[in-house]
């Protein structure tokens, strides 16, 4: 107990001015200006609704960790309303750099789903553009236009800038 009291008194002796300044700042409700600030651009609104027509859901998931500027294997899942005839499903990938706001479209592919099938599962590989924080969205173009939730790639979606 004596050691604990001694350590606390020593800490207060060395840091009491800093402790008092921090306490005053907290009580006053003020904030210090940060040295570096993380700026995160919000992901833009999806380029299409989550479901439309025969497309009930669209999802993209990386099969292994992806990195900006490298090839990425992605599973695209499209949930469908079953139909008595074959359905052609087409999709593209939309990529947004969350730091710069640059948007890129990458050709996806297409597959014919057999009659009465309720899904299309396809694995595609494409090269991601360079960037520190990317959002990758699968967007169907047939049989209807619908988009899934964005898949984040790269460092946590923040862009450092000096403040």
| Long-range Cβ pairs for the range 34-39 (8 Å, 24+) | 34/163, 35/162, 35/163, 36/160, 36/161, 36/162, 36/163, 37/160, 37/161, 37/162, 37/163, 38/158, 38/159, 38/160, 39/99, 39/158, 39/159, 39/160, 39/161
Task: Please state the pTM of the whole predicted model.
Answer: 0.70
Mean of the per-residue pLDDT values for the chain? 82
pLDDT at 26: 60
CATH 2.60.40.10, domain 55-162, yes or no: yes
Q: Name which residue leads in pLDDT, 142 or 43.
A: 142
Strands (E), the chain: 36-39, 55-62, 71-80, 87-97, 103-113, 119-127, 133-142, 146-147, 151-154, 159-162
Which of the four pLDDT bands, split at 50, 70 and 90, describes residue 17?
confident
Domain(s) labelled CATH 2.60.40.10 in the chain stretch across: 55-162
pLDDT at 132: 78
Q: What is the mean pLDDT of residues 24-35?
A: 54
Q: What is the mean pLDDT of residues 121-143?
A: 91
Q: Where is average pLDDT lowest: 10-19, 56-65, 106-115?
A: 10-19
Which of the four pLDDT bands, split at 50, 70 and 90, describes residue 47?
confident
Q: Name which residue leads in pLDDT, 23 or 105.
A: 105
């Amino acid at each position: 107990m004596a050691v604990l009291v001694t350590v606390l008194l020593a800490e207060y002796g060395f840091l009491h001015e800093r402790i008092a300044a921090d306490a005053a700042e907290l009580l006053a409700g003020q904030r210090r200006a940060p040295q570096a600030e993380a700026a995160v651009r919000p992901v833009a609104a999806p380029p299409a609704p989550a479901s439309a027509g025969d497309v009930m859901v669209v999802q993209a998931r990386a099969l292994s960790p992806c990195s900006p500027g490298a090839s990425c294997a992605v599973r695209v899942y499209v949930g469908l309303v079953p139909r008595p005839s074959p359905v052609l499903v087409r999709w593209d990938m939309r990529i947004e750099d969350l730091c710069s706001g640059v948007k890129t479209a990458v050709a996806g592919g297409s597959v014919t789903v057999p009659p009465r099938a309720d899904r299309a599962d396809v694995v595609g590989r494409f090269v991601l553009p360079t960037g520190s924080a990317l959002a990758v969205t699968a967007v169907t173009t047939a049989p209807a236009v619908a988009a899934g939730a964005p898949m984040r790639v790269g460092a946590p979606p923040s862009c450092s800038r000096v403040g």
